[in-house]
Amino acid sequence: MIQYDTIKKYADRFNNRTQHPLISLVDFNQSKPLLREKFTLNFYAIIIKETNCGDLRYGNQYYDYADGTMVFFGPGQIITNEPEGEPHQPYGKALVFHADLIKGTSLGKQIHDYSFFSYQSHEALHLSDTERAVVTTCFDNITSEISQNIDRHSKQLIVANLELLLKYCLRFYDRQFITREHANHGILEQFEAKLNEYLFGEKLGTEGVPTVAYFAQELNLSPNYFGDLIKKETGKSALEFIQLHLIDLAKERLFDTRKSVSKIAYELGFKYPQHFARFFKQKVGVSPIEYRGLN
């Protein structure tokens, strides 16, 4: 596996000049044919593809990655370009930037809000022709700025243009969620079915309180993409959605006065009754015992 620990090493690999030690636009078209490989990056990468040139795999999942698509990688991710070991001619462009570039900036504080850097299979961004033109303009503006002599305005302008690009990508992903609404609704239905199966089956008592990561894995989605999708469909985060169903079940169980609150807490997957009591009061406004008394 190849580790690209610097922007320069990545640019050199594809026969490109490093424009800036912390950010560079890499044109794959300048590269000679290379063997497909497994690699990891120590920086962020925004890749736009121009032709169908193989499959990208993140972990055990494949990217929905074809002509006119964008994918986003965060530092430390392991990516496999398949079929591994096969010669190919790379096409497309990659904007790569190091976390040190955005440290101390508003973008540095908000970079985790751009959750698409952790998306996995079937989650690439498919661009319309208009959107592709916008992305190209952003790439050109960033390239123009990093190609100039560095002065006291350089970092601010580079980061501002980078942040503008990421905001456009957020907008385009929102559009994609809407245009794929039918498919997304199917995922929501599957999520509800699996959640009910978990809550009313044996897993709740044996595996504990359900998590967002569990259902994301069940649906073959990354937790971030799954969370964003549920938020777009329901107006609530995936965690809020799970907790609402758990509270409804807790209220129903509390009507059964033959069971102690502690026993109900264990049945609902809580390791400690006091954790359940705290959770219930936070969501409902009264303790489980008070709720039982009021009803």
Instruction: For residue 283, name the pLDDT band (cuts at 50, 70, 90).
Output: very high
Kindly state the average pLDDT of the residues 192-216: 92
Phi, psi of 269 (to 5 degrees): 95, 5
Residue 265: predicted pLDDT = 95
Fold match, 2-179 / 201-294: no
The CATH architecture assigned to 2-179 reads Sandwich (2.60)
pLDDT (tens digit per residue) in 5-33: 999 999 999 999 999 999 999 999 999 99
pLDDT (tens digit per residue) in 258-277: 999 999 999 999 999 999 99
Residue 235: predicted pLDDT = 84
Instruction: Judge contact between 90 and 14, C-beta under 8 A.
Output: yes
pLDDT (tens digit per residue) in 60-117: 444 444 447 898 999 988 787 777 888 888 889 999 999 999 999 999 999 988 988 8
**What integer best gives the mean pLDDT of the chain?**
87
Kindly state the average pLDDT of the residues 244-263: 92
| Highest-pLDDT range among 40-44, 116-120, 127-131, 221-225 | 40-44
CATH for the stretch 201-294: 1.10.10.60
pLDDT (tens digit per residue) in 124-180: 888 888 999 999 999 999 999 999 888 889 999 999 999 999 999 999 988 887 776
Kindly state the average pLDDT of the residues 230-255: 90
For 76, the enclosing helix (H) or strand (E) is none
Kindly state the average pLDDT of the residues 189-203: 91
Instruction: Judge contact between 39 and 81, C-beta under 8 A.
Output: yes
State pTM to two decimals: 0.65
Residue 182: predicted pLDDT = 61
Domain extents for the chain? 2-179, 201-294
